Amino acid sequence: MLKGKVAIVTGSTSGIGLGIARELAKAGADLVLNGFGEASEIEAIRSAIEREHGVRVVYDGADMSKGDAVRGLIAATIAKFGRLDILVNNAGIQFTAPVDEFPAAKWDAILAINLSAAFHGIAAAVPQMKKQRWGRIVNIASAHGLVASTHKAAYVAAKHGMVGLTKVVGLETAGTGVTCNAVCPGWVRTPLVEKQISDIAAQRGISQKQAAEELLSEKQPSLDFASPEQLGGTVAFLCSVAAEQITGTAISVDGGWTAR
């Protein structure tokens, strides 16, 4: 389905991004992996995807907190592959504290990585996609792009911003062969959420299993985590012919979180 297409997935050395990268490779896309981690682990991930799916996979360690580096990632990909078809803005971080105690540096970092990186990436990618008359931009927002929770001022602000940015880019690219959509996951058991489970377990003196159940029962009516593979499948769908007329919207994969 995506043979000959080139995809960038930011923050794809772990969690949801890695799940998305694997699903796009399974569908035949060549890939640019991005994110932090041990060089040897990243190389193992890169070569395994290449081997398993017979696609070309390169790694670029661009820091998504820096606008110039984000734009450099797009330019380097176009220089290397001669095209860019799919941009998945996925890299993200979390920090929790009441708004009056929220460290300004954490606010700046979350806004930079979870929101501004998508702006810089999209701004740099859209001209190439328009030239090709085909492009798919997928912004990984969150249930927190649609509703709020306490202690997540920066994250909720950034994710709501991501949904707004998605609408604007969907309108600006309508009719050009380029689409832009947001995907809004509920809880997915990745390192980002594992830390929140550990924090609950420590605060309440309960086990990891109990803390995970508590996290789910508070927000996610299905009482089950969504998986990185399912998120990858959603992104692959948005890149399919069936999704050609889907643009400027937000698709929830949240077990019912935002239905109530």
Write down the least CB distance from residue 126 to ligand NAD, Å.
Answer: 20
CB of 32 to ligand NAD, least distance (A): 12
Residue nearer to ligand NAD on the CB measure, 40 or 245: 40
Please report, as ranges, the residues that interact with ligand NAD according to CB under 6 A: 11-17, 34-37, 63-65, 90-93, 113-114, 140, 142, 185, 187-188, 190-193
- Residue closer to ligand NAD, measured from CB, 34 or 173: 34
Q: Which two tokens stand for residue 47?
A: 């070569």
Task: Calculate the alpha carbon distances from 116 to 65, 92, 120 in Å.
Answer: 8, 11, 6
Between 102 and 134, CB nearer to ligand NAD: 102
Token pair, residue 167, equals 């609408």
Nearer to ligand NAD, 91 or 239 (CB): 91
Largest CA distance in the chain: 56
User: At its nearest, how many Å lie between ligand NAD and the CB of residue 14?
Assistant: 4
Compute CA distances 239 → 54, 134, 254, whole Å. Answer: 19, 10, 20
Name the minimum Å distance from CB 245 to ligand NAD. Answer: 25
Tokens coding 157: 């602000």
- Active-site residue 155, yes or no? yes
φ, ψ (nearest 5 deg) of residue 186: -85, -145
The two tokens of residue 146 are 């649609």
Nearer to ligand NAD, 17 or 135 (CB): 17
Q: How far is the CB of 191 from ligand NAD (least distance, A)?
A: 4
Catalytic residue (choose from 155, 187, 225, 257): 155
What amino acid is encoded at 73 in this protein?
L
Which residue type does 146 have?
Answer: L
Q: How many residues does the chain have?
A: 260
Distances in Å between the alpha carbon of 146 and those of 43, 48, 223? 36, 36, 19
User: Residue 114's Cα: distance from chain center in Å?
Assistant: 9
Torsion from C-alpha of 230, 231, 232, 236, nearest 10 degrees: 100
What amino acid positions are annotated as catalytic residues? 155
